[in-house]
Structure 1
Amino acid sequence: MNYLKLSKEISYALRHSPSEYGLELDDNGSVNLEELLIALKKKEEFKFLEAEDLVKMIETSDKKRHEIVNNKIRALYGHSISTKIQKDAIEPPQYLYHGTARRFIQSIKENGLLPQDRQYVHLSIDIETAIQVGKRRDKKPVILTVKAKLAWENGVGFYKGNDKVWLSDAIKSEYIEFPES
């Protein structure tokens, strides 16, 4: 079983297009495990898929994109579907980081960090993860420091995505430290 390919397929189904798979997500983005298996087995490459494969996919993933709880599976972050996935706000660490392309810096200075085509702004717990994320759009990304604790104290909501990813609705530029150009 190609677990990376399976992870990407499930991410697409749960984050971006559940209706394409005949799935309906609940308020926290979960779907019954059996329903997902039935949907995926319709594809030739996944026709022998079992629940144990989903468990192994999650256990072996370095990005921890999914979780299974009470016989339901969900993507932890990255949703672009129109129905907002509900998350419980939680106090963040003092600082979080955001890796971005240099071409977006002026817009971020003017408008802050916005979710764009996702439901939440994605933030990293450490600089190394932010660099990895930023390199998706720029070979030399800019790493922004978000004063998360201060933003939280001023009413900005933060939500834990996984051990390395935090989420927020939006971050005003006043809570962002920009590196000197």
Structure 2
Amino acid sequence: MNGRKKAMDYIKLSKEISYALRHAPWEYELEIDDEGYVDINQLLASLNELNIYDRLIVKEDLEYIVNNSDKKRHEIKDGKIRALYGHSIINKISKEIAIPPKILYHGTAKKFVDSIVSNGLLPMNRQYVHLSVDEKMAITVGKRRDNNPVILEIDCQSAVNDGVIFYIGNDKVWLCDKVPPKYIKIKLDTK
């Protein structure tokens, strides 16, 4: 090598970090605090032990991912890093309660619509229900499970008035423990 760093596959690294922080911290021997943070040095040591990247991963790589992601999946603060949403780990990550926009959206596969109409939106294998700030984002999320997802409109104003609690995920995602069916309207079938 001529002294230049090899290019890092940041997409692969971002996915690995998300998996470690959201779903399987124990596989990486990570100690997550009550707010979902892990010491950066602990994460770096675990990632570098995998020996699957072309070079050692350094703090600057983590900062690059956090600062250049369009979906803002991670946050670095005081020498620690956490995933902002998408957790399936057992310990619930505490989130800031806030008043959401009047309307939020959720993209889902057609096969789940009947259950949602009956039971509402439930977190399933995640800690929270994820809601999008706009239809475009909801369509993108819904397409992960169905090429022609159904977009649901959530009447957050009525839900808040009735005591449903919402949490800030990030600037594009809001979180909720569950959304009862009476606040859900089928907005769009993307077919």
Give me the TM-score of the superposition, normalised by structure 1: 0.96
Q: Which one-letter code corresponds to 1:165 in the other structure?
A: V
2-structure distance, mates of 1:23, 1:6: 16
Q: Residue 154 of structure 1 is aligned with which of 135, 159, 162?
A: 162
* Partner residue, 1:29: 36
User: 1:63 aligned to 65, 71, 80, which one?
Assistant: 71
Change (3 A) 1:115 1:109: same
- In 1, Cα distance between equivalents of 2:46 and 2:59: 13
Show CA shifts across 1:21-64 (max 9, x none).
11111111101111111111101134511100000011121211
* Within-5 A mapping of 1:1-181: 1-46=8-53, 48-179=56-187
155-164 vs 123-132, which moves further: 155-164
Q: Judging changes above 3 Å, is the alpha-carbon distance between structure 1 residues 4 and 110 closer, same or farther for their aligned structure 2 residues? A: same
Extract unaligned runs of 5+ from structure 1: none
Query: Stretches of 4+ moved more than 3 A in 1?
Result: none
Task: Give the deviation of 1:75 after TM superposition.
Answer: 0.1
SS in 2 for 1:74: strand
The separation in 2 between residues aligned to 1:76 and 1:149, in whole angstroms, is 24
TM normalised by structure 2 equals: 0.91
Deviation string 1:72-91 (CA, Å, 9 cap, x unpaired) is 10000000011111112111
Q: Distance in 1 between matches of 2:13 and 2:88?
A: 19
Work out the percentage of aligned pairs sharing the same amino acid.
Answer: 56
Counterpart CA distance in 1 for 2:29 and 2:188 is 49
